[in-house]
Structure 1
Amino acid sequence: MTQLASLVLDFEGLSAWIEEYRKVGSIVESAQRNKTDIVVCANTIIEVTHAGTNMPRLNWLLSQVKIEPVTAQTAKAAAKLLKDTGLHGHKYAIDATVAVTALDQPGPVAILTSDVDDLTKLCGGQRVKVIPL
């Protein structure tokens, strides 16, 4: 993997890390060895939490990452991304906040996701590499 300054985990990236998927663990461990910031958007925490979530593991993992808040500024930027791409907030709101989070990180930056098409569109081909799961 290219030397990254920031690696953003979306819902699928964080879920796979919680569930200890080998591929994700390898990517995250490599990033940590290279002093890459591992970043999670605050609303991704809500998205991954359900009755079956391993909460002790989630809490431990969250202690290892940078959690970015969803502020009014983030929400406005996400709404603009949605408008500019023609996507609807009802379906793509969290993806849009993850995209804004990624775009706000020091580069080079990548997003670990299964929503490759959506996040590529939302990041507009800007300096964010989308890594598929």
Structure 2
Amino acid sequence: MANFSGKYVVQNKENVGAFLTAIGVGQAAQMMGGMMKQQLTIEHEGNGVSFTTVVGTFSLGTREFTLGETKDETLKHSNLEAKVNLHIEDNKLILTETPNEGLERIITKELLEDGNLRETSKIGDITAVSMLNRVAE
């Protein structure tokens, strides 16, 4: 099983604005976030996985998961209650968020051969792709 632990910095993104709008992130927040360095830290040990996101100097928080377990969570940007599940398929972490209202979201983090990540986010007919480079700790 692949181990995803590490720090990653967003290098480029495509169609992310449309995805963020679809999940309820306002234009002002998108503009501010787009101007700052975005970093993701993944801690993966056994069946435990956590994601910590930092934009500029602002921590957006940490999400913790047990692989394969579905849990209830309030989605950050929309405040919708949802069932969330994180599982691994080959070299991919796949997060499924199924809100009580609205469309399901699927966010896939694919560990590439060079150690970097490709993140694909889907909601309805909108797909966004971000490339994240692993950085030395």
Structure 2-normalised TM-score?
0.30
Q: Relative to total residues, which structure has the larger helix share, 1 or 2?
A: 1
Q: Relative to total residues, which structure has the larger strand share, 1 or 2?
A: 2
Structure 1-normalised TM-score?
0.31
Structure with more relative contact order (C-alpha pairs < 8 Å, separation 6 or more): 1
